[in-house]
Amino acid sequence: MGGAHSSLGTGPTRRTLLAGGAAALLAGCGRRDPNALSFWATGYEGDYAPYLLTAFERATGIPVDRQSLPGTAAHEKFLTAFAGGSLPDVLMLPSGWVAEFAMIGAIAPVPDAALTGDTFPGVVRPLTWAGVAHAVPWSVGSQVQFYRRDLLAEVGYDAPPGDWDGWRTLGARLKRRHPDRFAMLMFLNWWDTLVTFAGQAGAYPLKDQETRGNFRTAEYREALGFYASLFADGYAPGVSSNEVQDPLAAFAQGWFALYPSGPTLLTDLHRRTAEIAPDRWGTARMPGPNGPGRVSAVNNSLAVSAATKRPEEAWALVRHLSSAESELHYQRLIGVLPARRSAWASPQLADPVLRPFAEQMEVPARLPTIVEWERIRAEVQLVAERVVRGGLTIDEGLRAMDARVDALLAKRRALVAAGRIA
Amino acid sequence: MAVTGKRARAVLLNALVAAITLAVLAPFAWMVTVSFMPRYESSRYPPPLWPSRWTWGNYYELLYRRLIDGAWFDYRIVPALGNSLVVATVSTLLGLLLTVPAGYAFAKLRFRGRERLLQLLIASLVVPGQVAMLPLFLIFREIGLVNTWPGLILPSLAGIFAILFVRQATLSIPDEMLDAARLDGAGELAIFRRVVLPLLAPVTVTLALFMFLGSWNDFLWPLIVLADQHRYTLPVAVAAISREHAADGELMMAAAVVTTLPVLLLFLALQRYYIGGLLGGSVKG
Amino acid sequence: MTRQERAAWLFAAPVLGIIALVFVLPTLLAFGLSLTDYSIYALADWSNLRFVGLGNFADLLSTPLFWRALRNTALFAALGVPMAIGASLFTALLLHDATVRWKPVWRVALFAPYVTGVVATAVVWRYVLNTRFGLVNWALAQVGVAPVDWLGDPRWSIPAILLFVTWKVFGYNMIVFTAALAAVPGELMEAARLDGAGWWTRFRHVTLPAIGPTLLLAAVMSVAGFLQIFAEPYVMTLGGPSQSTTTVLYFMFEEGFKWWNLGQASAVAFVLFVLILALTLVQTRIGKRYEWL
């Protein structure tokens, strides 16, 4: 997770620092350009936004003031900004949050249907509220498995299997070959892999108009059982993300051979070819019970604040940022994959390594879009972690998930019963 | 024999104190040296204690707007520094203006309900400030103070500690002095300005120092009430960067230096008042 | 109204008014909020708000993370207060000894961590506690101890944060105890020494009773302070690993500002208030028994 900026060369002299320091102090006195549009984004998209914004500013003459938020603090920052009436004109939202922000009236409906056409099926559905799209898809990041070609070749595999039994067999062989290493890495505090398995198994997490947990089903039991068995048999280490400071280094060193992850891992891999050469890894779709199926994805979208004073300019910015060229530019810079289908025709995305992503994006997992989903996802993973660490059996875990989720949905249940929300 | 025993003890104790002080100051020293190291140099084992090459690069990256490949990048630390300075200064001045007269009034002026109010103030010290934070946000939202500087400064002006501190210090002023001035025909305001304030000067400096440092280091309320990065104070700005730049040790150390250096310098310059104030001030501190 | 009363109200009313607005009013509102189910649905539409009486408190009791937060906070206080008070007392005694020279220098140096802010020093300590490249593990390696995963191992995360917090706060009480030690009656000390009492006996029977009240006050304030730990987990560990450093205040912050369950969060704030109040009363009761108050 290196810094966002290129190396500095020889660096400045002390004189230039002092001179510039005075100028900077005078210039940067906390005043925002009143003519500027404001744009908030998280993560790499936020850090690298200036690259996209300069073209917009040059073309339209509208300055844009960008603010980069840390991803882990974004939810509270957006909510407190809305509550305080200081949401930016344009904001980047993970797709799972769009319905929530539309419900509270924070973001405006998309005025132009052309902005949300030209994308993949299932990408726009989570962005609709009351029948209208409220955000424009920006990037799509399905989960695929990255694998070490050489380690799989050692045990006689060209590519990882696409079904769960095959995965377990591969895991057993890898473990037999190197007992002190592992087959795959799945962080116990990240929800992505378990959600993928549940999606593959066809389990939908909620029922009764999304007011109750639906975890005690055969499909979910199968998914959780498969997930827990990988740890129980020693194929996956029982670790959280802060116990492994540098997972890419561990992947390069062969500590594990299969690494389910999203497209941003591609950027890190391209940057660190010294540690792991491109011919030593490949990508494939995540396995399902009977072959690849629906997986979880981290999709980002762009929305415009409902309270913006300059809606036309804000939507112009959205149009620019979600254009095929901008999305392809971002793909070059930080590896996030375009949501625009027309961008995928570009030769830049013809790399065979990207094919599993392209295939997977046609079949995303169907997930709830209610307000509480983000929290439910996190808490379900907490229970799953306890199951893996041995504190609960599968059945106890499923029952705990249902109980916890029912508690979280109590308010929603009351409102649905009163007919106040759909 | 007794003399060498005593000598050995003295040497031992002094050495112990020196060692402890070294250990306590070590994180600060490391913070400074790492901030001058080239990128990624501190991520080595054993950790380097001295830069191989002293460089201003981290400060440059942190503090300046840079043009890279045609786009402007800015961590906005310098505006945050300016914001912290302004907010802390205004907070301190307004705080003194509000609490010093009040502390004097509770100590030396007789008025109905004084003891009752005093008891309430002392009792309220038990209530943690965070209880009020959530509804305060809602209240400020209704009156439009969210993401504004008045909204940021106002809660810090409720200086219950400060009132009690000033009161404690004022109690030692002899009543006869004040009564004599009253007999001479001076008004209460004049007495306060000409008799009491000069006597309270050292206490006022101590209090000003407490308030300034308190405002400079304040984190939770600015985190909640400020949405606009341009208005961020220094701790909030540094916290925001620290989440996603966790691996950039040198950069974060430079940010830490920028945040702590002004405070440490101020403290060193006025430590006589700060520590003296603690040693001789109100028991509740 | 007498002249003094007029002046008094002129002097005191502004700040009392502000205290009423930003402290008293919100605190009362917090109790009111805790009886409603204010959530993000209420942010969308006021009429979604319902009065639920003690429902939030009942929900809290069945929220596992709340109990975890209580447990973590109790651990922080139980381990942290002795650590911090012990460190302060130890250094104060050390600096009180007649044979130590350059006392003002040591005092200023040891106090320095206290004046700096939490965020910057938490960032520094995150690196000091780094498993591979941190100073602490390097120092431990010099004496042959294997590296400890301070911030990544749920068993060591609380000690890690306590190490940092102790370093940061011990200077304050060190000064307070220094003042108290200076007030220990000298004749009593001399008399004890002449009677041949050793250092420990002198400490127990002369020093301790003399600084008793100060110790008690420091303990009361320390407990209240440790129960309100928030910024350190927020900057260093995000409440993890595995919620091992989620404190009551951290839980309240997330519940209130991340998920916008202000009703639930206010209930947590109320619980925290009751806890601090109860512990303060217990401590003052103990203090009264030893006649330290």
HEC profile of A4-62: CCCCCCCCCCHHHHHHHHHHHHHHCCCCCCCCCEEEEEEHHHHHHHHHHHHHHHHHHCC
Number of neighbouring beta carbons within 10 Å of residue B33: 16
Same domain flag for B203 and B63: no
Q: Which residue has the higher pLDDT, A7 or A120?
A: A120
At residue A269, φ and ψ (nearest 5 deg) are -65, -40
pLDDT above 50 for A23 = no
Same domain flag for B83 and B187: yes
In this prediction, residue C116 carries a pLDDT of 93
Same domain flag for B90 and B63: no
Cis peptide before B46 (omega within 30 of 0): yes
Q: Which of C232, C119, A68 is nearest to B236 (CA)?
A: C119
Q: Which chain C positions have a beta carbon within 8 Å of B27's beta carbon?
A: 121, 124-125, 128, 135, 167
d(CA B275, CA B280): 9
pLDDT above 80 for A18 = no
pLDDT above 50 for A1 = no
How many angstroms separate the CA of residue A122 from the nearest CA in chain C?
Answer: 26
The string of pLDDT tens digits covering residues A259-317 is 999 988 888 888 888 888 999 999 999 999 988 888 888 899 999 999 999 999 999 99
d(CA A132, CA A130): 6
Q: Is B231 on the interface with A (CB under 8 A)?
A: yes
Same domain flag for B51 and B144: no
Q: What is the CATH T-level fold of the domain A32-141+297-350, as seen in this structure? A: D-Maltodextrin-Binding Protein; domain 2 (3.40.190)
Could A5 and B73 be called an inter-chain contact, meaning their C-beta atoms sit closer than 8 Å? yes
d(CA A120, CA A137): 9
The residue type of A1 is M
**Confidence grade of residue A366 (pLDDT, cut at 50, 70, 90):** confident
Among residues B15, B48, B67, the one where a domain terminates is: B67
Q: Output the DSSP codes for A88-125.
A: -SEEEEEHHHHHHHHHTT-BPPPS-GGGTSSS-TTTSG
Same domain flag for B56 and B89: no
> Tokens representing B39?
């990128």
| Residue bearing tokens 């009886």 | C35
Percent of chain B scoring above 70 in pLDDT? 97
In this prediction, residue B117 carries a pLDDT of 92
Residue C148: in which H helix or E strand, if any?
none
Maximum Cα–Cα distance across chain C:
78
Number of neighbouring beta carbons within 10 Å of residue C79: 15
The string of pLDDT tens digits covering residues B31-40 is 999 999 988 8
Specify which residues A303 forms β-bridges with: A91
Domain count, chain B: 2
> What chain A residue is nearest to B64 in terms of C-alpha separation?
A24
In this prediction, residue C226 carries a pLDDT of 93
Could A382 and C243 be called an inter-chain contact, meaning their C-beta atoms sit closer than 8 Å? yes
Could A76 and C258 be called an inter-chain contact, meaning their C-beta atoms sit closer than 8 Å? yes
Same domain flag for B52 and B90: no
pLDDT above 80 for A177 = yes
The string of pLDDT tens digits covering residues B38-79 is 888 887 778 888 888 899 999 998 998 888 877 888 888 999
Specify which residues A212 forms β-bridges with: A207
d(CA B10, CA C98): 9
Q: What is the CATH number of domain C59-289?
A: 1.10.3720.10
The string of pLDDT tens digits covering residues A267-280 is 888 888 888 899 99
In this prediction, residue A24 carries a pLDDT of 46
Among residues B49, B67, B85, the one where a domain terminates is: B67
Q: Which domain holds residue B21?
A: 2-67
Same domain flag for B8 and B86: no
At residue C2, φ and ψ (nearest 5 deg) are -70, 170
pLDDT above 90 for A92 = yes
Taking a C-beta distance cutoff of 8 angstroms, is the pair B161, B103 a contact?
Answer: no
Q: What is the CATH T-level fold of the domain A144-296+368-417, as seen in this structure? A: D-Maltodextrin-Binding Protein; domain 2 (3.40.190)
Q: Look at residue A181 and give its three-state secondary structure.
A: coil
d(CA B50, CA C220): 42
| Of residues B47, B220, B259, nearest to C231 (C-beta) | B220
d(CA B96, CA A147): 64
Q: Is B247 on the interface with A (CB under 8 A)?
A: yes
Chain C residues interacting with chain A (CB cutoff of 8 angstroms): 37, 39-41, 43-45, 48, 50, 59, 62-64, 131-132, 149, 151-153, 237-238, 240-243, 254, 257-260
Give the β-pairing of A90-94 and A206-207.
unpaired
> Tokens representing C104?
């003002």
Same domain flag for B153 and B27: no
Same domain flag for B265 and B234: yes
Could B251 and A3 be called an inter-chain contact, meaning their C-beta atoms sit closer than 8 Å? yes
Q: Which residue has the higher pLDDT, B185 or A215?
A: A215
Same domain flag for B198 and B92: yes
Same domain flag for B113 and B189: yes
pLDDT above 60 for B7 = yes
In this prediction, residue A28 carries a pLDDT of 42
The pLDDT profile of chain C, 293 residues, written as one tens digit per residue, is: 688 888 899 999 999 999 999 999 999 999 999 999 898 888 888 888 889 889 999 989 988 889 999 999 999 999 999 999 999 999 999 998 888 888 889 999 999 999 998 999 999 999 899 888 888 999 999 999 988 888 888 889 999 999 999 999 999 999 999 988 888 888 888 888 888 878 888 888 888 888 888 888 899 889 988 999 998 998 888 887 878 899 999 999 999 988 999 999 999 999 999 998 898 888 888 878 876 54
Q: What is the location of CATH 3.40.190.10 in chain A?
A: 32-141+297-350, 144-296+368-417
Specify which residues A107 forms β-bridges with: A305
Taking a C-beta distance cutoff of 8 angstroms, is the pair A65, A36 a contact?
Answer: yes
Mean pLDDT of the region A40-50: 89
d(CA B141, CA B149): 13
Mean pLDDT, chain A, whole residue set = 87
Specify which residues A145 forms β-bridges with: A260, A284
In this prediction, residue B249 carries a pLDDT of 84
**Confidence grade of residue A30 (pLDDT, cut at 50, 70, 90):** very low
How many angstroms separate the CA of residue C206 from the nearest CA in chain B?
Answer: 21
